[in-house]
Every structure is written in C-alpha cells, then in structure tokens.
Homo-oligomer: A and B are copies of this chain.
Amino acid sequence: MTSLQNDTLIRALLRQPTEYTPVWLMRQAGRYLPEYNQTRRGAGSFLALCKSPALATEVTLQPLDRFGLDAAILFSDILTIPDAMGLGLYFAEGEGPKFERPLRDAAAIRKLAAPDPLGELRYVIDAVSEIRRALAGRVPLIGFAGSPYTLACYMVEGGASDDFRNIKALLYGEPALLHRILEVNAQAVAAYLNAQIEAGAQAVMIFDTWGGNLAHDAYRRFSLDYIQRVLADLRREHDGERVPSIVFTKGGGLWLEAIAACGCDCVGIDWTLDLAEARRRVGARVALQGNLDPAVLLSSVDAVRRETARVLAEFGAGPGHVFNLGHGISQFTPPEHVRELVQEVHEQSRKYHL
C-alpha cells in the first residue's frame, strides 16, 4: 500500500503532535455539492450510488478535489447491514430510509443473522478497495458503520422515528429480544469494519446517531456495551499501521467519561458541549472530534470564521483535536462556506500546535 502523504488525521486521532488541526466533515460527500447531485442523478438513486463501487469512489473523492480536507470517508450508508440481513431497505422520496420488513416479532428476531461482509456486503468492501487505490495516499480513508443500537432503532421502527416507541417498548418490556438483536448487530458491525480495515480503511468510525434517545442507564446497557464489544473485536493494526477508532453518540455529552472509557481512540462531540470542558473531563484518555454546529455553515462567511475560531480556541493548545461538525453537513450549505471553514481551520489552528 502507498504510504500517506498527509497523515495529520491519523496522528491527531492518536493524540500525536501535528502542525495544524486536521478537518473533515460528516457527510462531506453529499447533496450540498452540485457534482454529487449530478452523479446521483446519473446513478438513478441513492442506493444505486452506494451499490456501485465506481460511483461511490467518484463521490467520495469529490469534496477532496474541491476543498483541502484531511480525510476521505467511505461513501455509503449505515443501513447496508440491515439491508444485507434481508430487511429490504428503500428510500421513500423526502421521507428518509425505510424497511419493508421491520423487526417486530420474536420469530423474526430469532432468525436474524450477521451477514458475511464478503457476501451481500461485497459492494461496500469493493468500494473501500477502489477508493483506497484512487486516493493513492493523498489522505487517509475512514471506514464506518452504525452502532448496534442505532441499527436496531431503524430495524425495529422500520425507519426514522420521533418517539422510538417500538424499540423502547421492546427495551422496557422484552429486553431479552432487544439484546438478541444487539448481539447479532455487534457481530455484524465488527465483521464489517474488520473487512473494511482489511480492504484499506485507515481509521473507523461508529455512528451512534440515536443512542442519545436512551435513559442514562439504558444507554450503557443497550448502546455503549455493544459498541464496546465491537471495539474489542476490531483489528487495531493493518499493514503495520495503527487503525484508530472514533465513537460518536449524538446527544451523548452527559456520558462522555463512559464513552471515553469504551476502548475507542477518539470521541465525537456534538455542539452542546464545550470542548474545553470535554477535554477537562476526558484528560489524556482520548482525542476529541467536533464540534461546530452545522447550521453555522448556513449563515455567513463572517459567522463561519468567528465560530470556527471559537471551536479551535475552546479546544486550545496541543494535540488530539480533529475538527468536524457536530452532525452531518446540511444539504442547504453553500460550498463556498465549506471552503472558508477548511481554510480557517488550517490557518487559525497553527498557533495551537507550536
């Protein structure tokens, strides 16, 4: 494999010194980019785009060609795993992801099995290999998966939800059934991420988008414990290089200490938590990734500069900060605001790395 020309992200994730703060953006390849929309129209649908390694490679590289980002992230979707389990993923226009066969009864839950990442999910692993080749060492490639609990939310609800009442009814009323789903999901996520690492992912991220909807004790038992199992099963090295891991529970700021102790190298933080306070709370245990409110990118160049400077100042001096948003970038973001953001991070952060 080619060695990295820019390994700033990897060093920051491992809390090693860097010359500046590396930056990438969740959902950086996406609908705010005209070239993405063009490729997507050509592909016919979002799923077709995910399922074509060539097109996934094309859109993964688009934001790198525009902005000087310090990482690429695999273009895919967290719901590829439940789709490969046979739940029938589809996207209803304007409604987000849905499953044709949500998991609602004990029989279906008992039949659930982890998919072979080199079987039904081969298209994702092929995309990782192809993106890695296309990157040719420019920046590291981040692989990713949803957390076992977040996948379970979609699998049980059958799509996004504003009250999560089906999975919560299971959690409180039939916890053993939910634990069964989570065990299978944890196996599936670990195997999937390991296959991504073997295919060339140089860091991995677990997205726990919905863990923040849980009660404090339920979060530990139904989300964090299973993230911990995934991490325990992950390859930590590939080709002689450390493969750092990032865990992001949206809305998990109250549980930061517990997340920082789960075995990850870096914790993703949303904008509700001050990075200075986060740093005090985790000490030297983990790096931190975040945490600009993505809505800042909707306002003005001045606001982008001011709020970027604020986030950098909150983290302060020293290694261990990966600049990112606190959630995926909005489709309404003007691309020139992203350019401004990346430039500001690269320029303004140098004084914190002397």
Q: CB within 8 Å of B: which residues of A?
A: 163-165, 168-169, 171-173, 212, 214-219, 251, 253-254, 271-274, 277, 293, 295-296, 298-300, 303, 307, 310, 326, 330, 332
Contact = CB atoms under 8 A, between A and B. Distances in A.
A80 B173 CA distance: 38
Contact of A300 (B173, B218, B251, B274): B173
B216 A299 contact: no
Contacts of A298: 165, 168-169, 172-173
Given A251-B251, A330-B165, A332-B165, A173 B272 contact: no
A172 B215 contact: no
B163 A295 contact: yes
Nearest to A170: B299
B216 A295 contact: no
B295 A164 contact: yes
A222 B300 CA distance: 19
A347 to B, nearest CB: 20
Contacts of A212: 272
B307 A274 contact: no
A105 to B, nearest CB: 16
B251 A173 contact: no
Contacts of A165: 295, 298, 330, 332
Identical copies in the complex: 2
A318 to B, nearest CB: 21
A326 B164 CA distance: 14
Contacts of A171: 295, 299
Contacts of A253: 253-254
Q: Is the interface of A mostly helix, strand, loop or mixed?
A: helix
B300 A172 contact: yes
Given A165-B295, A172-B293, A215-B293, 19 more contacts: A165-B332, A168-B295, A168-B296, A168-B299, A169-B298, A169-B299, A172-B296, A172-B298, A172-B303, A172-B307, A173-B298, A173-B300, A173-B303, A215-B272, A216-B271, A216-B277, A217-B310, A253-B254, A254-B254
A66 B297 CA distance: 50
Q: Across the A-B interface, give the 4 residue pairs with the lowest CB-CB distance, nearest first.
A: A168-B295, A173-B299, A172-B299, A215-B271
A217 B172 contact: no
A251 B218 CA distance: 16
Nearest to A310: B217
A164 B295 CA distance: 8
Nearest to A96: B162
Contacts of A163: 295, 330
A299 B177 CA distance: 13
Contacts of A272: 212, 214-216, 219, 251, 254
9 contacts: A168-B296, A171-B295, A171-B299, A172-B295, A172-B296, A215-B293, A251-B251, A251-B272, A253-B254
Contacts of A326: 215
Contacts of A254: 253-254, 272-273
A277 B254 CA distance: 10
Contacts of A219: 272
A241 B171 CA distance: 44
A300 B173 CA distance: 6
